[in-house]
Amino acid sequence: MLLANRNLRALDRAFDRMTSFTGAHSPLAAIDRMFDRLETNVNVSHAPESGRYTVYELKPVTYEVEVNDRGDVIHRRLSEEELEVIAANEKAAAEEAKGNTA
């Protein structure tokens, strides 16, 4: 089915405006640039670059950010036992800090 002449011209004008607005040479390049701009404004899962963070799904899940020898960033899920050890270490550190200030 052929498009009517005025519909074809309207579609052509839309592509012309899209390419002139973005400075791209083709409509597909204009769309690629639009998605590139959107991706630069989005943080990856809003996760910190280092440290520990908790995600609340059906139950809280805690991840720790690690960097291996090759420089890869790994978000490692912590087990319940690891969380208990971390909580005990933080509690001991807080009590020790109280002891040093008193």
3-state SS, one letter per residue, for the chain: CCCCHHHHHHHHHHHHHHHHHHCCCCHHHHHHHHHHHHHHCCCCCCCCCCEEEEEECCCEEEEEEEECCCCCEEEEECCHHHHHHHHHHHHHHHHHHHHHHC
Average pLDDT of the chain to the nearest whole number? 77
Give the pTM. 0.44
Q: What is the pLDDT of residues 41-94, one digit of tens each?
A: 555 556 666 678 777 777 888 888 888 898 888 888 899 999 999 999 999 999
